[in-house]
Amino acid sequence: MQHSPDFQLQCPIPLSDYPRVTLAHGGGGKLTHQLIAEMFAPMFDNEFLRARHDGAVLPMDGERIAFTTDSHVIQPLFFPGGDIGSLAVYGTVNDLAMCGARPLYLSLSLIIEEGLPMQTLWKVVQSIKTACERAGVKIVAGDTKVIERQNGDELFINTSGVGVIEHNLDIRPGAIHIGDRIIINGDLGLHGIAVLAQRQGLEFETTIDSDCAPLNGLVGELLRADISIHCMRDLTRGGLAGALVEIAGTAKKHISIDETKITVREDVQGACEILGFDPLFVANEGRFVLFLPPDETEKALAVMHKHPLGAGAAVIGLVDEGAPGVAARNDFGGSRVVEMFSGEQLPRIC
Amino acid sequence: MQHSPDFQLQCPIPLSDYPRVTLAHGGGGKLTHQLIAEMFAPMFDNEFLRARHDGAVLPMDGERIAFTTDSHVIQPLFFPGGDIGSLAVYGTVNDLAMCGARPLYLSLSLIIEEGLPMQTLWKVVQSIKTACERAGVKIVAGDTKVIERQNGDELFINTSGVGVIEHNLDIRPGAIHIGDRIIINGDLGLHGIAVLAQRQGLEFETTIDSDCAPLNGLVGELLRADISIHCMRDLTRGGLAGALVEIAGTAKKHISIDETKITVREDVQGACEILGFDPLFVANEGRFVLFLPPDETEKALAVMHKHPLGAGAAVIGLVDEGAPGVAARNDFGGSRVVEMFSGEQLPRIC
- Which pLDDT tens digit goes with each residue over A89-147? 999 999 999 999 999 999 999 999 999 999 999 999 999 999 999 999 999 999 999 99
What's the pLDDT at A163? 97
- Mean local confidence (pLDDT), A317-323: 97
| One domain for residues A122 and A190 | no
How far is A50 from A330, CA to CA, in rounded Å?
Answer: 33
| One domain for residues A127 and A16 | yes
pLDDT at B341 over 90: no
- Mean local confidence (pLDDT), A186-203: 93
What's the pLDDT at B1? 41
What's the pLDDT at B7? 55
What's the pLDDT at B102? 97
Instruction: Give the one of A48, A63, A127 whose C-beta lies nearest to B140's C-beta.
Output: A48
3-class SS letters over chain B: CCCHHHHHCCCCCCCCCCCECCHHHHCCCHHHHHHHHHHHHHHCCCCCHHHCCCCEEEEECCEEEEEEEEEECCCCCEECCEEHHHHHHHHHHHHHHHCCCEEEEEEEEEEEECCCEHHHHHHHHHHHHHHHHHHCCEEEEEEEEEECCCCCCCEEEEEEEEEEECCCCCCCHHHCCCCCEEEECCCCCHHHHHHHHHHHCCCCCCCCCCCCCCCHHHHHHHHHCCCCCCEEEECCCCHHHHHHHHHHHHHCCEEEEEHHHCCCCHHHHHHHHHHCCCHHHCCCCCCEEEEECHHHHHHHHHHHHCCHHHCCCEEEEEEECCCCEEEEECCCCCEEEECCCCCCCCCCCC
Q: Domain for residue A145, yes or no?
A: yes
Contact at 8 Å (CB) between A292 and A223?
Answer: no
| One domain for residues A188 and A276 | yes
Q: For residue B330, what are the domain limits?
A: 173-338
Q: Domain for residue A349, yes or no?
A: no
pLDDT at A3 over 60: no
What's the pLDDT at A206? 83
| One domain for residues A208 and A192 | yes
| One domain for residues B107 and B61 | yes
Across the interface, whether the CB atoms of A145 and B26 are under 8 A apart is answered yes
Q: How far is B314 from chain A (nearest CA, A)?
A: 27
Instruction: Give the one of B2, B11, B132 whose C-beta lies nearest to A119's C-beta.
Output: B11
What's the pLDDT at A208? 95
pLDDT at A181 over 50: yes
pLDDT at A333 over 90: no
Q: For residue range B147-202, what is the model confidence (pLDDT) as tens digits?
A: 999 899 999 999 999 999 999 999 999 999 999 999 999 999 999 999 999 998 88
Instruction: Give the one of B11, B58, B348 whose C-beta lies nearest to A118's C-beta.
Output: B11
pLDDT at A343 over 80: no
What's the pLDDT at B5? 45
| One domain for residues B205 and B161 | no
E strand or H helix that includes residue A66: strand A63-72
Q: Domain for residue B195, yes or no?
A: yes
Per-residue pLDDT band for A70 (boundaries 50, 70, 90) equals very high
What's the pLDDT at B2? 45
What's the pLDDT at A16? 85
pLDDT at A42 over 80: yes
Per-residue pLDDT band for A204 (boundaries 50, 70, 90) equals confident
pLDDT at A2 over 50: no
Residue of A nearest to B71 (CA): A109
pLDDT at B271 over 60: yes
Domain boundary among A115, A144, A165: A165
Q: Domain for residue B206, yes or no?
A: yes
Per-residue pLDDT band for B8 (boundaries 50, 70, 90) equals low
What's the pLDDT at A60? 86
| One domain for residues B75 and B51 | yes
| The dihedral formed by the CA atoms of A8, A13, A16 and A19, expressed in degrees to the nearest 10 | -90
Q: Are strands B325-329 and B254-258 parallel, antiparallel or unpaired?
A: parallel
pLDDT at A256 over 70: yes
Pairs across A and B, CB distance < 8 A: 318
List, in sequence order, the alpha helices (H) in chain A: 30-34, 41-43, 84-98, 118-135, 190-200, 216-224, 239-251, 266-275, 297-305
Q: How far is B163 from chain A (nearest CA, A)?
A: 9
Residue environment code for B182-204, b if the CB has 16+ CB neighbours within 10 A, otherwise e: bbbbbbbbbbbbbbbbbbeeeee
Cα distance between the two ends of chain B: 36
CATH number (domain holding residue B291): 3.90.650.10
Q: Domain for residue B307, yes or no?
A: yes
Contact at 8 Å (CB) between B315 and B181?
Answer: yes
| One domain for residues A151 and A14 | yes
| One domain for residues B204 and B220 | yes
pLDDT at B4 over 50: no
| One domain for residues B131 and B179 | no
What's the pLDDT at B331? 76
Q: Domain for residue B3, yes or no?
A: no
Per-residue pLDDT band for B340 (boundaries 50, 70, 90) equals confident
Question: Kindly report the CA angle at B327 between B322 and B328, in degrees rounded to 5?
Answer: 150
Q: Domain for residue B212, yes or no?
A: yes
pLDDT at B226 over 70: yes
Tally of domains in chain A: 2
What's the pLDDT at A8? 59
What's the pLDDT at A4? 47
Q: How far is A168 from chain B (nearest CA, A)?
A: 15
Domain boundary among B122, B140, B165: B165
pLDDT at B62 over 70: yes
Instruction: Give the one of B3, B109, B144 whose C-beta lies nearest to A158's C-beta.
Output: B109
Q: Domain for residue A346, yes or no?
A: no
Q: For residue range B100-136, what is the model confidence (pLDDT) as tens digits?
A: 999 999 999 999 999 999 999 999 999 999 999 999 9
| One domain for residues A106 and A227 | no
Residues of B in contact with A36 (CB under 8 A): 142, 144
Peptide bond into A76 cis (omega under 30): yes
Across the interface, whether the CB atoms of A83 and B112 are under 8 A apart is answered no
pLDDT at A250 over 90: yes
Domain boundary among A110, A133, A165: A165
How far is A73 from A147, CA to CA, in rounded Å?
Answer: 15
- Mean local confidence (pLDDT), A48-72: 93
What's the pLDDT at B3? 44
Q: How far is A188 from chain B (nearest CA, A)?
A: 20
Per-residue pLDDT band for A5 (boundaries 50, 70, 90) equals very low
Q: Mean pLDDT of all residues in chain A?
A: 94
Per-residue pLDDT band for A7 (boundaries 50, 70, 90) equals low
How far is A290 from A140, CA to CA, in rounded Å?
Answer: 30
| One domain for residues A39 and A158 | yes
